[in-house]
């Protein structure tokens, strides 16, 4: 697990940028405090094509796999963030079938060796999470890629000087004109999407000109050309009737077990996050089969109805493992938020970021790697809202003319009257009514909040291309597909990566495995969401009978709930007012509108906590990255263990 920063010069003078790159690299120190590598790559005729800068968190092959990593007598240079879980098998295949030579025992060299022999097809062979960059010195060609589901991040920026790539956007800000343009450099379309979705959807960012390579995509560039981004992977759901459900359940369980086993490959201590739900509990239950002494970590509060600690402790006792709890309060939250937002790069208004920050901090005191349960809901049908197409079937299955009449009736029903929402949603095509798990501000509300509201920017800009790829699927599976490309990679995986890396902790996600997806992709709707039940992830729950404690098998999902509703009306009220006042965001947002929401919430007239939180997180972001009126308090430690000067025509 690491932080990478690479620059490819359009003019053959990359060496002139070395010191600036080395300086920018230090803002990624948290991603890899163990080693630093900075190399300038020159050509035989004296030009310098590239600078590779790398921060390493040593997990596999600690002694040898230093980066940037050369291959094929220096033809290729690799910098890599992530883990390849089948690297041992791939290494054996490359050596046996192609005579590949290796000078390390790690997974990074397997990537670059595979690229040498298989080209871009190496991506289809990798089982893991990754973002990497390769420079081919012979072809003068840059190649960067990201894993199937977008677990690891990769940002890019193209300027007149050349192309920059980095694990986190903050490392690119010194080179981006938009970062020095104040509010004029803020991407207002991305801001509008954020206010709807509570995250900035890929490939955009809030800084103009800086983009992200999407999940399952790769990038190529040669001097004198524009960046080209292509897709190498698309998840394909193929639900089909199942004649023998028990065989399916057995396959799910064994595939998960094998995935957990492979995700535990490491030369450092591995632990697990543990909440009250089935996803993390299943990971712990399977992991302890391979390490009975595995440590687990959980988090909670002294607020009734919000803490998962007691349930997690019961599960840990049942499984015979140790769990280490952490409790947080409103003061902890207020003090941590500037650091959290700085680590995020772009705002994500998910309150679960805060408990995740503290549980990751605690885990990092004991282990270097943790396993977590992200991805189970999207793969196996775990969100309650996925039941909506089933409940609306009586309406949206009616002829178009009848639906049109019912739609007119719904408009005549006063707000708040039972049945109005049911008719509205039942007569609205799924492509217009579903855009992911989070729904913050409506278009009407954004007209009041945004200073420069643009009606042409709609959430369908994000979802329409995804729906266009899923026309053959049923509505439930369409919702899963939408979430794979929106909610999962925009919220869930951003917070998992950035918040764990804030503490130099690697989070691995065994559910988000290509073999697990292959099993989940074929589950029919009736085995994900039984029609005469309120169960979700039914097939997965059946598969885990006897693996997880009985009390957890059918427990509803909580997912590190956070008492922001309570605290914003009490202990955090004055803090929220202060953040609004120092944010400097008044030219983009009507903060008096946000203040009215806060006052109504404090008086108990309405629960505006999620909307207030969405604005607050943006205001913290704006105060840090644009107005610079808030110091996040990040200690920028430096290391220079492997810093190198210009590398000549033959690397090492």
What is the Cβ-side half-sphere exposure of residue 591, based on CA atoms within 13 angstroms? 19
Spatial separation of the C-alpha atoms in residues 485 and 618, rounded to whole Å? 22
How far, in Å, are 407, 425, 431 from residue 421 at the CA level? 10, 6, 17
Name the token pair of 597. 């929401």
- Measured distance CA(500)–CA(336) in Å, rounded: 14
Length of the chain counted residue by residue: 652
DSSP character at residue 450: B
Q: At what angle do helices 573-582 and 591-602 cross, to 10 degrees?
A: 180
The alpha-helical segments, DSSP class H, found in 219-297 are: 245-263, 278-290
- Is residue 53 within 8 A of residue 27, CB to CB? The reply is no
Burial of 563 (0-12, 13-18, 19+ CB in 10 A): buried
Residue 2 annotated in active site: yes
Write down the catalytic residue from 2, 27, 272, 619. 2
Q: What are phi and psi of 212, to 5 degrees?
A: -120, 140
Query: What span, in angstroms and rounded, lies between the C-alpha atoms of 205 and 580?
Result: 22
Helix (H) or strand (E) segment spanning residue 153: none
> Cα-Cα-Cα-Cα dihedral of 80, 83, 88, 91, to 10°?
-20
Q: Which of 289, 316, 608 is nearest to 441 (CA)?
A: 608
8 Å CB contact between 592 and 603:
no
Query: Do 327 and 597 touch, CB atoms closer than 8 A?
Result: no
DSSP state of 346: S
Q: How far apart, in whole angstroms, are the C-alpha atoms of residue 561 and residue 572? A: 17
Q: SS3 sequence, 486-543?
A: CHHHHHHHHHHHHHHHCCCCEEECCCCCHHHHHHHCCCCHHHHCCCCCCCCCHHHHHH
Tokens 């599960």 label which residue?
Answer: 315
CA 315 vs CA 144, 285, 518: distances in Å: 42, 9, 29
Q: Count Cα neighbours of 232 within 13 Å in the Cβ-side half-sphere.
A: 25
Closest CA to 594 of 619, 575, 626, 571: 619
Write out the catalytic residue numbers: 2
């Amino acid at each position: 697990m690491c932080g990478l920063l690479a620059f490819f010069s359009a003019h053959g003078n990359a060496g002139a940028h070395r010191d600036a790159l080395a300086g920018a690299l230090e803002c990624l120190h948290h991603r890899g405090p163990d080693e630093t590598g900075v190399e300038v790559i020159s050509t035989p005729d004296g030009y310098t094509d590239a600078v590779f800068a790398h921060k390493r968190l040593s997990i596999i092959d600690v002694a040898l796999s230093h980066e940037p990593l050369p291959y094929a007598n220096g033809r290729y240079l690799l910098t890599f963030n992530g883990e390849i879980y089948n690297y041992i098998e791939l290494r054996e295949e490359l050596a046996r079938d192609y005579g590949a030579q290796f000078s390390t025992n790690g997974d990074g060299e397997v990537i670059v060796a595979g690229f040498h022999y298989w080209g871009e097809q190496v991506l289809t062979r990798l089982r893991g999470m990754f973002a990497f960059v390769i420079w081919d010195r012979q072809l003068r060609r840059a190649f960067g890629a990201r894993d199937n589901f977008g677990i690891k991040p990769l940002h890019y920026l193209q300027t007149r000087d050349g192309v920059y790539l980095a694990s986190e956007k903050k490392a690119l800000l010194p080179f981006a004109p938009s970062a020095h343009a104040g509010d004029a450099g803020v991407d207002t379309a991305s801001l509008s999407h954020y206010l709807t979705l509570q995250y900035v959807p890929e490939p955009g960012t809030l800084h103009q000109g800086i983009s992200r390579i999407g999940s399952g995509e790769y990038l190529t560039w040669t001097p004198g050309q524009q960046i080209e981004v292509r897709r190498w992977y698309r998840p394909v759901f193929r639900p089909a009737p199942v004649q023998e459900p028990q065989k399916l359940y057995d396959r799910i369980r064994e595939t998960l077990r094998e995935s957990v086993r492979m995700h535990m490959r490491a030369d450092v201590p591995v632990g697990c996050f543990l909440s009250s739900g089935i996803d993390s509990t299943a990971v712990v239950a399977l992991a302890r089969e391979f390490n009975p002494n595995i440590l687990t970590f959980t988090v909670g509060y002294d607020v009734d109805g919000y803490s998962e600690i007691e349930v997690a402790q019961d599960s840990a006792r049942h499984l015979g493992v140790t769990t280490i709890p952490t409790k947080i309060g409103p003061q902890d939250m207020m003090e941590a938020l500037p650091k959290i937002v700085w680590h995020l790069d772009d705002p994500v208004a998910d309150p679960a970021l805060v408990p995740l920050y503290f549980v990751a901090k605690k885990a990092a005191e004991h282990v270097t790697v943790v396993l977590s349960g992200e991805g189970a809901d999207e793969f196996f049908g775990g969100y309650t809202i996925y039941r909506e197409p089933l409940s609306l079937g009586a309406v949206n299955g009616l002829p178009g003319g009848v639906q049109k009449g019912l739609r007119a009736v719904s408009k005549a029903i006063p707000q708040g009257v039972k049945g109005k929402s049911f008719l509205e949603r039942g007569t609205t095509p799924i492509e217009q009514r579903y855009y992911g798990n989070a729904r913050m501000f409506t278009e009407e509300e954004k007209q009041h909040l945004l200073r420069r509201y643009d009606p042409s920017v709609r959430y369908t800009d994000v979802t329409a291309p995804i729906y266009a790829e899923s026309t053959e699927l049923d509505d439930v599976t369409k919702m899963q597909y939408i979430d794979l490309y929106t909610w999962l990679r925009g919220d869930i995986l951003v917070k998992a990566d950035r918040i764990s890396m804030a503490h130099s902790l690697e989070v691995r996600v065994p559910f988000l495995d290509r073999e697990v997806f292959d099993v989940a992709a074929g589950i029919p709707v009736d085995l994900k969401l039984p029609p005469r039940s309120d169960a979700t992830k039914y097939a997965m729950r059946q598969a885990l009978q006897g693996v997880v404690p009985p009390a957890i098998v059918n427990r509803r999902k909580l997912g590190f709930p956070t008492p922001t509703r309570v605290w914003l009306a009490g202990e955090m009220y004055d803090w929220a007012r202060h953040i609004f006042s120092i944010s400097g965001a008044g030219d983009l947002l009507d903060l008096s509108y946000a203040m009215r929401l806060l006052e109504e919430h404090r008086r108990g007239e309405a629960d505006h906590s999620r909307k207030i939180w969405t604005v607050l997180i943006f205001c913290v972001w704006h105060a840090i990255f644009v107005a610079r009126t808030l110091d996040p308090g990040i200690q920028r430690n430096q290391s220079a263990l492997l810093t190198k000067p210009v590398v000549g025509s033959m690397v090492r």
